Structure 1
Amino acid sequence: MMKTQTEIIKQGYEALINSLGVADTIRFIQYFSPGKGDYTTERHQWLDRETLADVLMKMQELPEDSNQYDEIIK
């Protein structure tokens, strides 16, 4: 018999928790959360106000160690 989507999700969460523990499972899921809202509309709200040069300048002002994905890459 084929499993339902709900059963597969429940089994997947259980496997993650058994393997990673609760805290690390939450951290893992946060990386893949689809979020909410309309990214395209929200993106245009700030992109239409700023030039590429403005965005580049802001990026250059960030501290070098501000990469939130360093943990994943290492």
Structure 2
Amino acid sequence: MITEVRPLVEINQQAIRLLYKELGVIDAVRFLKQFTQGYGNYTQERDSLFANKSLDDIVSDIEKRRKQRSKSKAQVLCKQTCAFC
């Protein structure tokens, strides 16, 4: 059996259409994101971001950001539902 060699771009387009059809757009995109490469040099970025921080400092920063984020979400929700905000 002889199979015609199709351009890779055509195969990719067909594959994406099939994924959208079978999985839906959101799950297809989530699936495809597994295979995309990042950019930059994470090792250099990590070294510059965390050069002078201990693990405790990093954990503390994460906890602060989570509190700020949950507080801002609560404020948005309050503004959407509360007549006084």
TM-score by length of 2: 0.49
Gaps of 5+ in 1: 67-74
Gaps of 5+ in 2: 71-85
Answer 1 or 2: higher relative contact order, Cα 8 Å, separation at least 6: 1
State the shift of 1:23 in Å: 4.1
State the shift of 1:4 in Å: 4.1
Identity over aligned pairs, percent: 33
Structure number with the higher helix fraction is 2
Which portions of structure 1, spanning 4 or more consecutive aligned residues, are displaced by more than 6 angstroms?
A: none
Matches within 5 A, 1:57-68: 57-59=60-62, 61=63, 62=66
Between Structure 1 and Structure 2, whose CA radius of gyration is higher?
Answer: 2
Aligned length: 63
TM-score by length of 1: 0.53
Counterpart in the other structure of 1:13: 16
